[in-house]
Structure 1
Amino acid sequence: MPSKAIVSEVSTLSCSNSWRNYYFLKIVTEDGIVGWSEFDENFGSPGVGHIIRELSHRLIGQSAHFHEHIREDLRNVTRPGSGGVVGQAIGAIENALLDVKAKALDVPCHVLLGGKMRDKIRVYWSHCVSYRTRTEHFPPGIRDESGVRQIAREVREKGFSALKTNIFHYDEAGRIEGWSPGFSRPHEPGRNVERRTRKDLRKHLQIMREEAGPDIDILLDLNFNGKTEGYLSFLREIEDLDLFWVEIDTLDPRALAYIRSKSRHPISSCETLIGLQQFLPFFREQAIDVAIIDTPWNGVWQSLKIAAAAEAHEINVASHNFYGHLCTMMNAHFSAVVPNLRIMETDIDRIAWDGEIFTHEPEIKDGYLIVPDRPGWGTEPVEAALAKYPPSPMIDMPKRTPIPRLAI
């Protein structure tokens, strides 16, 4: 007879990821089953762990088998502040309960989610160039055009079929610098897109194409780094280039639908949305070609509902995934079961101890992630290893360019 999976303990753990922290939720049942999820406090979400701890007493004595019942209770008691870090906390709880339930039934999570439709998932190499400009964390560091060319070749040589890159400026000596005013690098609240930025982006994409070769799909992430006028100017600059998609973050579905109507490239978006209701206006407006779903934020069970709504609007989905290996496994189980999957994000450049702090690393062969069949998510944090790399309070929020001091 399977375990009743009655929750007895709820706790959060964290460790350093050198330039940010990893965060985990641990749920223990009365009969000793341990369920895990990974959440994040770095991507504009400080305080998720605090909210989990504030809500944890409502889980004690409940069965993880009834995770939807628990989630609705948590949604009800937080309704006035729904979304944001509250929504992410509930998503983390849902994901840990799914891990408990799958382990109680001795099945991989994808079985709970309806059963896998695919054994392997096409992935793209995310933050290609971006991470290696953090030279103290991701060797070999990239400081100039030669490093950009080297990593583009590496993508092809290592068997990947797709990469995603960002916006960079190049100076006269070929040195590069990232440009993301949407994240205060630099501080430019107008998020205006000037001629130099457009020309440098075109140069960057052409370099990546030259070195990666004609058969590698190139994805471009513009994030929140513009407004409608600026995004359109980017699209005009690069309209003749061969791109898999252009990723744009804007919270106005009609504005994004207008941008999409002017774009020669497919448009992806929605990675920062929480809950089906936030996604629906983008589906109804046909604002996107691909809906990017953050399953650690939304909870994998809820993400299936979002993917089903996208399918009803003839829209494919992709997984937002730039966290640790546990998040990658959670996204892998989601990606294995949804029929309308386009592709899955993953980071190939990793910190030195990533393999040490998880029981299993994702298996990637020829640009595909192999779906794990171990019980639950298929990996867990190693608590003794986490203790070796204590979290730093100085990096809970990523460092940004200091805001200029204004004259009084």
Structure 2
Amino acid sequence: MSHAQSHPSAIRRFLEAQSSAGLVLMAAAVVALIIANSPLGPGYAAMLHAYVGPLSLEHWINDGLMAVFFLLVGLEIKREVVDGQLSTWPRRVLPGIAAAGGMIVPALIYLAFNAGPTAAGWAIPAATDIAFALGVIALLGNRVPASLRVFLAALAIIDDLGAVLIIALFYTADLSLPALAGAGAALAVLIGFNLFKVRRLSPYLLVGIVLWVLVLRSGIHATLAGVMLAFTIPMERTPGRSDHACVSPLHRLEHALHLPVSFLIVPVFGLANAAVPVLGLPPSALVAPVTLGVAAGLLLGKVGGVFGFASIAVRLGLADRPAHAGRLQMLGVALLCGIGFTMSIFITLLAFPSSPLLQAEAKIGVLAGSLISGLLGYFTLRWAKRDSGGNVR
């Protein structure tokens, strides 16, 4: 038995065994929506926007806590690339192709509904919310093959990295070149630690904090720092030997982050970002071009792009389908990629900075598209498992 099979990683354990963490996440999102649309809404929003030191509480959550979540995800991706499900090139290629389709097709669908000033929101439906998508997967427990969960994690992180790149290129007004240079220097130090086989975690984490501060000040989304740090944490290939894994810096850090990420960071993130007030808007906002473009982009564009591009790649022999995953299960995962939430809402604020109405319309589209995509994805995956034991043709 391979190391990857005998010693499942932190996110693998979270997805397979900690369905209660997914329930906590979903409950947090529902509570946030209820509060935001109740008399408590204004006070709740004021609390999120209150400053604690140099950042607001909302920014500490989205830029600070979520950098830790992305650190954990990055560790999982590196582990799978080095010594797991993504250790062959065909399996690495598939998430990348699917993520590209999942960004291109939603943007085109949005632009089919919008022209002129509202076209600035083309990237809103192009992002998948990794926390909520993985939360739905967690609710399904062992119904979804492990390889498909790894595929979703890899696709989502590539998708979010693509979204960060889009923000940097198209929605970042002011980039700080000194901060970018400093972040590059910090990353070089981390790579140096790895090359010189530094195995203590404390040097990586200390420089990682510096990297996070510099990325935050650079104008690029700070969560990218978590991914960059993860990729520099040492991990050795361990063919048939589990003792190496137990002392691996990457393995130790995954193990330490598992519980706080699952039961603290992710639920707090849901509480902060699902608090979107949708009441009190004119009825026309429900059918506005921005609303329809975002909702259709998430619901139709994501599933069409992810499932379509992945299916073509497999048919052309460019990549392998995840092991023990059928076409219907692939369709279910593609539907889950239509859950936009956080990054989509973040891009909304950047796309329409001076129009509260357009922001509200886009948020309604995000909520509607994400909710329908999540429900359809969940029930598709449940039905696929019952129908064929996970081997749908």
On whether the aligned pair clears a TM of 0.5, the verdict is no
**RCO higher in 1 or 2 (8 Å CA, sep ≥ 6)?**
2
TM-score, normalised to structure 2's length?
0.25
Which structure carries more helix by proportion?
2
Structure 1 length normalisation: TM-score?
Answer: 0.24
